[in-house]
Structure 1
Amino acid sequence: MRIGFDGKRAFHNATGLGNYSRDLLKILATHFSDDEYYVYNTKPKKIDRLSSFNNIIEKLPVVAFWKKFSSIWRQGPILSQLKKDQIQLYHGLSGEIPRGIKKSGIPSVVTIHDLIFVRYPELYSFFDRKIHFNKFKYASEKADKVIAISEQTKNDIITFLGIEASKIEVIYQGCHAVFKEEVSIQDKSEVKKKFNLPENFILNVGTIEERKNLLSIVKSIKELKTHLVVIGRKTTYYQTVLKYIDDNRLSNRVHFLEGVDLKELATIYQMAYVFVYPSIFEGFGIPIIEALYSKTPVITSKGGVFPEAGGPDTCYVDPSNTEEFSKAIENLLNNKQKRTEMADRGFTFVQKFNDDVIANNIMQLYRSILNERN
């Protein structure tokens, strides 16, 4: 089978949608190595993490005009190139498919990660909301099937986009293989020295933005004897968090790390006593999965998608209740046996997100679409 993919995120986004795209491609290329995966990129790649796979082929615009206007090319004119490459099925990995693909005769799938811009419109500009909504609505209506990365996202697609439930398949994400490897004591020692990490710390990973709710964690550790390590891209919300840290003399206990590569991140996950993720809303919550694979106990938010990602043995709290968060952190820090039990049970639960499960679910969906067309 020859499958085409939107490669914009895979080659240009270091986190989030980029990780989803790369991980899915790697999983398919490994477990179904006889198939060919054509990944359509708009311009020379910034991130090269797929070149080791012979069956993953990067494709750029071949016409000079579309090389110059590549952002328009991927929205529709790409179809002529898909036909020349004899693509049998196209997968939009981040909520988009080319305009006119239904009429072209090429079957398509689109992955919708979340509809946060609908649930929390105040976090987005008016124009961004309109653009996202139109793209997602079009893709969901015209694609043969829609992949939702969680039941939460599936319900939102039904509610906000008006798509029939029968058209939507829930296929969970996994995470990078590096988070599944046990880190040596020597590696931990080197990472600890490089980033000057404290002996006892809790960890938060994710973009430092209002929705991720980092300020609640900072407030919750004010009276606790622990350190907080934060890894994530900074936005303007960072200044709000920093002001609270400075006003409450917490700068010696809150550590913002930069320049952390994947291997180092996996090592830090395994060194943390507890992983805390008080996000208000997510489409799924990959950092939770990364922590569970790292055998690190997790505290996260009640409701929404979080129980899907965290399972029955994660600790769930009201993300707006700082006191509840503080008690949950303190209880785990003071109870090593509880931390171990949560880590072991969480590791058992997270096996449902293993690569072979995801690969088989994705390929089964592709084949079912092609069988229906034939």
Structure 2
Amino acid sequence: MKICVNTRFLIKDKLEGFGVFTFEILKEFCKRHPEHEFYFLFDRKPSQDFVFPGNIKPVILFPPARHPFLWLIWYEVSVYTKLKRIKPDVFISMDGMIPLRSKVKSIAVIHDIAFESFPEAVPFLVRKYYQLFFPLYARKATKIITVSEFSQKDIAEKYHLSPDKIHVVYNGHQGVFKPLDKAEISKIREEISRGYPYFLYNGSLHPRKNVSNLLKAFDLFKEKDRQNIKLVISGRRAWKTKEMERVYENMNFKDEVIFTGWLPEKKLAELTASALAFVYVS
């Protein structure tokens, strides 16, 4: 069986949500199914870390698709043309986007459609592209994969699809995330928070992640805190961060907040295992 996969989010040292999901799923999928032939479609030269040995054929398609106009070219011209040549049995797209003209069976992975409920949290051009094309992608796809029952219901209702078309595949955890002993925890805390316990938030920083309210809540918490607990925020600044920055500058306890920026997988796992609690606010 020939399987083409959209792997454009596999970028070394820049793996986030889509990238981590893509890497972990494909690593196991390809290992467990050596009888299949996989074509990984990249939009730039890939790291060899992502070209698994055995049954993988990397394909580089231009242009690098990092802008709505380039997405359109990449999917509707480059990917479409390559699928016609390869003639795969199925095309799997890990970001939900598929070439609309293609006759190849497709599986679209749509994690959520939060841009429909919170459009103000997405940059203008990206929002317009999503709102125009994602209903078309969802209807065109042979099957849809999402990560929760909520998203399954949301996609089905907003795009008028049968829930039977949408399959829920839950997120898992990476093997590197595991408990640490007390000595290791003390060492990590010394490095990150001068030895104090901390709450940890991880994720890209933009309005939909609700970080502004996290900062406000932490400020209120610190008024009664007697344990000198810190707040560690890990993740890159994505877009529309001015409101978050304004809230941070007006905090009474902003010196108790630590921004780490994006962290590699091993370091993030250490911070997670050493945290007093993990905060999920979106």
2:279 aligned to which of 276, 281, 286: 276
Whether the 8 Å contact between 1:38 and 1:59 is mirrored in structure 2 is: yes
For the pair 1:174 / 2:172, whether they are aligned, the reply is yes
**CA drift at 1:187:** 5.1
**CA drift at 1:122:** 1.8
Amino acid at match of 2:105: P
Cα distance per residue 1:302-354 (max 9 Å; x no partner): xxxxxxxxxxxxxxxxxxxxxxxxxxxxxxxxxxxxxxxxxxxxxxxxxxxxx
**CA drift at 1:167:** 1.5
Whether the 8 Å contact between 2:93 and 2:108 is mirrored in structure 1 is: yes
2:234 aligned to which of 231, 234, 248: 231
The secondary structure found in structure 2 opposite 1:59 is strand
The secondary structure found in structure 2 opposite 1:101 is coil
Partner of 1:114: 112
Amino acid at match of 1:30: K
Aligned residue pairs, count: 270
The secondary structure found in structure 2 opposite 1:57 is strand
Whether the 8 Å contact between 2:145 and 2:167 is mirrored in structure 1 is: yes
Whether the 8 Å contact between 1:151 and 1:170 is mirrored in structure 2 is: yes
Distance 1:263 1:243 in 2: 31
Whether the 8 Å contact between 1:76 and 1:100 is mirrored in structure 2 is: no
Whether the 8 Å contact between 2:188 and 2:274 is mirrored in structure 1 is: no
Distance 2:143 2:250 in 1: 51
Structure-to-structure mapping, 1:205-224, within 5 angstroms: 205-220=202-217, 221-223=221-223, 224=225
Percent identity of equivalent pairs? 25
Amino acid at match of 1:138: L
Partner of 1:38: 39
Structure-to-structure mapping, 1:162-311, within 5 angstroms: 162-179=160-177, 181-183=178-180, 188=185, 190-220=187-217, 221-223=221-223, 224-225=225-226, 226-235=229-238, 238-258=241-261, 260-279=263-282
Whether the 8 Å contact between 1:101 and 1:108 is mirrored in structure 2 is: no
Cα distance per residue 1:272-318 (max 9 Å; x no partner): 11111121xxxxxxxxxxxxxxxxxxxxxxxxxxxxxxxxxxxxxxx
Distance 2:175 2:57 in 1: 21
Amino acid at match of 1:216: N
Whether the 8 Å contact between 2:234 and 2:259 is mirrored in structure 1 is: yes
Deviates more, 1:159-168 or 1:81-90: 81-90
Distance 1:88 1:51 in 2: 20
Amino acid at match of 2:168: V
Query: For structure 2, which runs of at least 5 residues remain unmatched after alignment?
Result: none
The secondary structure found in structure 2 opposite 1:10 is coil
Partner of 2:59: 59
Cα gap change, 1:257/1:127 in structure 2, threshold over 3 Å: closer, same or farther?
closer
Cα gap change, 1:122/1:258 in structure 2, threshold over 3 Å: closer, same or farther?
closer
Structure-to-structure mapping, 1:17-96, within 5 angstroms: 17-45=18-46, 49-61=49-61, 71=71, 72-96=73-97
**CA drift at 1:214:** 2.0
Distance 2:128 2:119 in 1: 10
**CA drift at 1:262:** 0.7
Partner of 1:2: 2
**CA drift at 1:265:** 0.4
Partner of 1:295: none
The secondary structure found in structure 1 opposite 2:126 is helix
CA RMSD in angstroms, aligned pairs only: 2.7
Amino acid at match of 1:92: S
> Normalising to structure 2: TM-score of the pair?
0.83
Partner of 1:146: 144
Cα distance per residue 1:154-184 (max 9 Å; x no partner): 11111211112222112222233322x4446
Cα gap change, 1:214/1:8 in structure 2, threshold over 3 Å: closer, same or farther?
same
Cα gap change, 1:176/1:84 in structure 2, threshold over 3 Å: closer, same or farther?
same
Deviates more, 1:67-76 or 1:26-35: 67-76
Cα gap change, 1:236/1:36 in structure 2, threshold over 3 Å: closer, same or farther?
closer
